[in-house]
Amino acid sequence: MSKNRWNHWWPLLAVLGSVTSLGVGTSLAKQLFPLVGAQGTSALRVGFAALILVCVWRPWRWPLNRQQAWSLLRFGVVLGGMNLMFYMALRSIPFGLAVAIEFSGPLAVAIYHSRRPVDFVWLALAVAGLALILPIGIGAGGASALALSPVGIACAVGAAVCWALYILLGQRMSHVPSGQAVSLGLACAALVVVPFGVAEAGAKLLAPSVLLFGLMVAAISSALPYTLEMLALRRLPPGTFGIALATEPAVAALMGMLLLGEHLAPVQWLAIVCIMGAAMGSAMTRPGAKSAAPQAPATTAG
């Protein structure tokens, strides 16, 4: 492969690698649920990810004023809530469907800020996808296999709202270096999530095997995806990046099937395709989709 062709393809491969790494890491994390619960698992992931990124970025190198500190605190609280509610959703609904529901958050932000006629097409497609997922206890022909936990759906919707707020708050921190924003944001998120984990799992979180597994999960599902996305953002236009990132629900569903044995019904796969199509369409047609990528933290589910 020529150097020019490689320079064209590696940013896309980096995004797909990020999405895959996130899917593998989250699938592994779910295996900790029987030991420390969803809250304990989220605490391990966020806590270790914060430690890793603080060590990498050394955010103390940049001074903060009071307004910046307050912005980072709000950003971190929302980030912690997103992670906590997403993992709580995974207790009772399949990984791929949780990601698909969560994707409605950033999609709603994108469509709301655009308000062009074509966006009503993507809105309709997203609503159709969510309608195929959300009916509780009602499926094609009344099949009980399509019934989803109301609590799981509520947690996934809560994660979607937090993801939307994460984007809105993140846009207000353009004056904060991205490395400092994500590292200190995760540190604040850990302050939110870790108490829930301690309340759920207690001393079980300190078992050496649990700590080692939690460190591996944090590296695979947080530190590595973020690094790959930051590298890709420097080379990819926002539209192309958004299209590649929109594959996340399908990758999550595939990882759930291969690693967790979560087999979805055809109508649920159709729902995922609808939501992915809406996210890709919105990324392709938004203004500035072909302009240079912004130097801001990327967002990933959970």
Break the chain into its structural domains and give their ranges: 10-285
Tokens found for residue 49: 């990810």
Query: Is the pLDDT higher at 223 or at 218?
Result: 218
115/1 Cα distance (integer angstroms): 42
Q: Tell me what the pLDDT averaged over the chain comes to.
A: 86
Q: Is-contact 160 85, C-beta < 8 A?
A: no
Give the per-residue pLDDT at 142: 44
**145-149, 223-227, 288-292: segment of lowest average pLDDT:** 288-292
Sign of the C-alpha dihedral, residues 72, 74, 77, 83?
negative
Query: Is the pLDDT higher at 7 or at 266?
Result: 266
153/147 Cα distance (integer angstroms): 11
Give the per-residue pLDDT at 146: 63
Give the per-residue pLDDT at 105: 93
Q: How confident is the model at residue 193 (pLDDT cuts 50, 70, 90)?
A: very high
Q: Tokens 């605490």 map to which residue?
A: 43
Q: How confident is the model at residue 17 (pLDDT cuts 50, 70, 90)?
A: very high
Please give the average per-residue pLDDT across 237-262, as a whole number. Answer: 91
Q: Is-contact 26 150, C-beta < 8 A?
A: no
DSSP reduced 3-state for 289? coil
How many helices (DSSP H) and strands (DSSP E) are in the chain?
13, 0
Which burial class, exposed, middle or buried, applies to 266 when counting CB atoms under 10 A from its CB (0-12, 13-18, 19+)?
Answer: exposed
Question: pLDDT tens, 119-162?
Answer: 889 999 999 999 988 864 444 444 444 678 899 999 999 999 99
239/40 Cα distance (integer angstroms): 36
Give the per-residue pLDDT at 143: 43
Give the per-residue pLDDT at 140: 41
Asked whether residue 109 carries a pLDDT value surpassing 60, the answer given is yes
Alpha-carbon distances, residue 81 vs 65, 111, 126, 142, 151 (angstroms): 25, 23, 23, 34, 16
Question: pLDDT tens, 62-94?
Answer: 888 999 899 999 999 999 999 999 999 999 999
Give the per-residue pLDDT at 174: 75
73/94 Cα distance (integer angstroms): 31
